[in-house]
Chain A
Amino acid sequence: MTHNWRAVLAAVAVASLSFGAAAVQVEIGFSDTFRTGYYCPVRIFLSSELRQTATALCVSHRTGNPWHGEATNDVRVPLGSSAGQWIDTVVPIYDFAVPLEVRMLDDEDRVLDSAQVELRAGARSEPLIVTVGEFPHPVEPGAVAVNTEALPRVWWGYEALGTLWIGRVREGLPHLAWEAISRWVVAGGTVIVFGGADLPLVDSPGLRRLLPLVSPQLERREDGGYAVSGELRAGADIPWTGADGLRLITHTVGLGRLYLVTYDAASCDRDTLQEIAALVRAAAVPSLLEPTAELLLTLPLQTPGHAVAVGVLAASLAVLAAALFVVRRQRRSVLVIVCGALMLSVLSGLHANRTKQDVTTYGLETNVRIISSVGSEIHCVGLYKTVSGMSSWTSPVVPRIERSPESLVARYFDSRWTLGEGGEVEVNAGEDEYLISYSAVAPAIDVRFDGEKGVQIRSDLEETLGEAYVVLDERLYAIPGGVRPGDWEVSLGEGDTLAQAWRSGGAWRTLRRRLGEDIVSRLASDRVWLVAVRWRTRVDLAPEERRKVSVADVTLVEGRGGTL
């Protein structure tokens, strides 16, 4: 019955196509603009007939070229029953030479319809400057204006952005877009928000948590417009004040930064916008690629023992020597060889069990959880295979693949992912490959600095994070016993400077190498940071891929309650 019904709908869908109705429309990036090598939002519109028959869609992206090797990167997006006609997804785009193809699939993976999107025109290599809402002048040359509906609902959709400018948005921003923007800022993003009459239009609990003012209020200006004022949050800064009283207020949120312009966008002339653009620090979501690449190849190789192999060889030769000894008795010499060799075979076969067998895939996985008012997580997995083949990974988010080193002779290989599940990527023996992905996490740890009393920590996690530090005023204080669940206080004793802690080696040095200089330098701010880590090794001895992965789960919590 179901199949008949689907067949009829499929026929209707095909018929509607034949009459010229556009069954699939695809929009990519920010008003068709995207940054190659980064995540890119993709919005797909399905006709109502197609929406009823299609059970999944496949975003297929070909990279490389026939001379250096090609690959197909397929992302399968299952369509739940609750999905509407617009399907929002975010996929990495690596190359612009070949059009992106979107195929609609039925429950038997037959292609119902497909659409292609030309990528060449919208490809950019620099970070994108994106504006939402009305602006009287372009904020910067090359800035891209988008409507609120096109804003990604997941924070890694903003990965390619340098800055996001939010002007007068009459309809306000969708809640999910605000949440994603907040998480992006915590992970290192940069947002510029305009005050005055524009601020109430986008006001939301999400924005309040990010603003550099504790309780923003609107005040009437002499020229009849409005300005935002209020008490500055601890650590907030006013880097620029205009002649007419306009102020640019900023403060750090997690690893990112939010800028508040006290006047509305319409009150800013071209020069003012350019002045602000020159002062704004571009977004920088920390990259774990470099430290992972540096450490991956320092992993020790796991191999069967040479000594045992020498023993097996010596014993085999001894069996033959024994056979030579009784060679005059023909039956006995055959018996000696057969019995001796079989006995040795059993022993060597038993010894070469799963724990002694070659590991074919080595992995170094670093997961950095950044917690402020919201939580964002950055994942990086470095992969090295001793035998060519597919490497499968469970990941709710389609990872972005990086290869090292990128060069003209670099080869590209296939990857297949299903959104929400995971997938596989082809890795060649002797080449290292990196999977980068992001996720959203709940802020499960809260840290408050209480001056001389020390630091109050509350952890809603179920497990203890065995190694932890407080970073304060560029000094490092180790927390004995790590971060355990519940509420408790830590009094800070004599800490080392970050430089001293690095020089003295030990656990902090290992952690710092894993995180890389980029993240560690950002912790040396005027804020209190809690750094906690859980080290583990994951061994998967599946016959098709024997994998050993060294995992570091790092949690960075931005402390509240004041600065130094």
Chain B
Amino acid sequence: MRGEHAVIDRGVATTFMGFVLLNGVALLVSIPMPCRLEAYRAALIPLHAPVLFYVYALACGVLGARLGTLSAMRGERSFAVSRLVARIALANVASLPLLLYARALVPGRETGLVLCIMYGGVVALLWAVAGRWMGSGHGHRRPAVQWALKYGLLALYMFLPLLVVPIASPLGAAPRLLSEPTVGSALLAFLVPLGGLAVMTPLLWARMRGGRHV
């Protein structure tokens, strides 16, 4: 496991740090300042869930895309997807203390919290696979173009469905899973990233078997 195909290296650990820091800052923002209800009401932004869970959903996408890019840059071929799964799992374990502390913000919604973390993992994996696929197939493009394309698509995935089917976007699905985790809504929420994975994973394997990588 040592060497260029390690699960953890400095690049991956730094990415984890960014992920944890982002979630930590979001947690701090989510906790209302000690004040009177009057001041709280004046500053109230009507959200379905604390800010942390919106940021977490977004951060999972970014985490996945970044890990996929790292994997592509290193030319990981054997067990590439397994390694991505392990890294995403580790990143979520690293941020688990923050998510568990956030339980105090959403009392009585433990099921929703678990679903939310699982959903975040699936979204991260989808974007890790997509990032790996994009990184390995467009070597002829400039890195800046690749970056813009990848994060542009991620932004579209995050924000565009909010206008049409909010639950198809992680920003719509995460608060929904947290507050109203019915079987139907949970299935619908998971269907989009799982469907994406079902499409992207064979494409990635096909590309890697074809021997085209950076």
Which residues of A approach B to under 8 Å, CB–CB?
296-301, 303-306, 308-310, 312-313, 315-317, 319-321, 323-324, 327-328, 330-331, 333-334, 337-338, 341-342, 344-345, 347-349, 351-352, 354, 356-358, 360, 362, 384, 386, 429-430, 541-544, 546
A301-B36, A309-B31, A352-B104 known; A345 and B8 CB under 8 Å?
no
- Selected from A297, A334, A341, A342, the residue in CB contact (under 8 A) with B37 is A297
- Selected from B41, B46, B97, the residue in CB contact (under 8 A) with A344 is B97
A-B contact pairs, 27 of them (CB 8 A): A297-B36, A297-B37, A298-B38, A299-B36, A300-B34, A301-B37, A304-B31, A306-B33, A308-B101, A309-B28, A309-B31, A309-B98, A312-B101, A313-B24, A313-B25, A313-B98, A316-B97, A317-B17, A320-B20, A330-B2, A330-B7, A334-B90, A345-B100, A354-B107, A358-B105, A386-B40, A542-B108
A303-B31, A317-B20, A330-B6 known; A341 and B101 CB under 8 Å?
no
Q: Is B32 an interface position by the 8 A CB rule? A: yes
A440 → B minimal CB distance (Å): 33
B32 → A minimal CB distance (Å): 5
Interface size class of B (residues with CB under 8 A): 35 or more
Q: Which residue of B lies closest to A302 (CB)?
A: B34
Q: Which residue of A lies closest to B27 (CB)?
A: A309
B40:A301 contact, CB within 8 angstroms: yes
Q: Is B201 an interface position by the 8 A CB rule? A: no
Q: Is B13 an interface position by the 8 A CB rule? A: yes
Q: Which residue of A lies closest to B107 (CB)?
A: A357
Closest CB pairs A-B (n = 8): A543-B108, A313-B24, A352-B104, A344-B97, A297-B38, A304-B104, A357-B107, A349-B100
- Selected from A299, A306, A349, A430, the residue in CB contact (under 8 A) with B46 is A430
B96 → A minimal CB distance (Å): 4
A362:B100 contact, CB within 8 angstroms: no
A313-B20, A313-B98, A315-B97 known; A323 and B34 CB under 8 Å?
no
Residues of chain B within 8 A of A319, CB atoms compared: 94
Residues of chain B within 8 A of A541, CB atoms compared: 107
Q: Which residue of B lies closest to A428 (CB)?
A: B46
Complex CA gap A317/B10 in Å reads 14
B90 → A minimal CB distance (Å): 6
Complex CA gap A304/B31 in Å reads 7
Complex CA gap A429/B25 in Å reads 24
Q: Which residue of A lies closest to B47 (CB)?
A: A429
Q: Is B148 an interface position by the 8 A CB rule? A: no
Interface-centre pick from B1, B20, B96, B106 (highest chain A CB count, 10 A): B96
7 more contacts with CB within 8 A, not counting A301-B36, A328-B2, are A303-B33, A304-B101, A304-B104, A312-B27, A320-B17, A358-B105, A429-B44
B57 → A minimal CB distance (Å): 19
B27:A362 contact, CB within 8 angstroms: no
- Selected from A303, A315, A330, A429, the residue in CB contact (under 8 A) with B8 is A330
Complex CA gap A556/B33 in Å reads 39
Q: Is B93 an interface position by the 8 A CB rule? A: yes
Interface-centre pick from A316, A317, A356, A544 (highest chain B CB count, 10 A): A316
B36:A337 contact, CB within 8 angstroms: no
B6 → A minimal CB distance (Å): 5
B1:A331 contact, CB within 8 angstroms: yes
A298-B36, A320-B94 known; A334 and B101 CB under 8 Å?
no
Interface-centre pick from B1, B6, B98 (highest chain A CB count, 10 A): B98
A301 → B minimal CB distance (Å): 5
A349:B32 contact, CB within 8 angstroms: no
Residues of chain A within 8 A of B106, CB atoms compared: 358
Complex CA gap A362/B35 in Å reads 13
A546:B108 contact, CB within 8 angstroms: yes
B35:A356 contact, CB within 8 angstroms: no
Q: Is B149 an interface position by the 8 A CB rule? A: no
Residues of chain B within 8 A of A338, CB atoms compared: 90, 93
Q: Which residue of B lies closest to A353 (CB)?
A: B104
A348:B34 contact, CB within 8 angstroms: no
Q: Is B16 an interface position by the 8 A CB rule? A: yes
Residues of chain A within 8 A of B100, CB atoms compared: 345, 348-349, 352
Q: Is B95 an interface position by the 8 A CB rule? A: yes
- Selected from A304, A310, A320, the residue in CB contact (under 8 A) with B105 is A304
Residues from 89 to 130 in B contacting A, C-beta threshold 8 Å: 90, 93-98, 100-108
Complex CA gap A386/B14 in Å reads 36
Residues from 64 to 111 in B contacting A, C-beta threshold 8 Å: 90, 93-98, 100-108
A386 → B minimal CB distance (Å): 8
Complex CA gap A320/B92 in Å reads 12
B107:A310 contact, CB within 8 angstroms: no
A353 → B minimal CB distance (Å): 8
Complex CA gap A145/B73 in Å reads 91
B127 → A minimal CB distance (Å): 21
Residues of chain B within 8 A of A316, CB atoms compared: 20, 24, 94-95, 97-98
B153 → A minimal CB distance (Å): 28
B32:A347 contact, CB within 8 angstroms: no
Complex CA gap A338/B108 in Å reads 26
- Selected from A303, A327, A337, A542, the residue in CB contact (under 8 A) with B93 is A337
A141 → B minimal CB distance (Å): 45
B28:A313 contact, CB within 8 angstroms: yes
Q: Which residue of A lies closest to B109 (CB)?
A: A543
Q: Is B21 an interface position by the 8 A CB rule? A: yes
B96:A345 contact, CB within 8 angstroms: yes
Complex CA gap A544/B109 in Å reads 9
Residues of chain A within 8 A of B104, CB atoms compared: 304, 352, 356-358
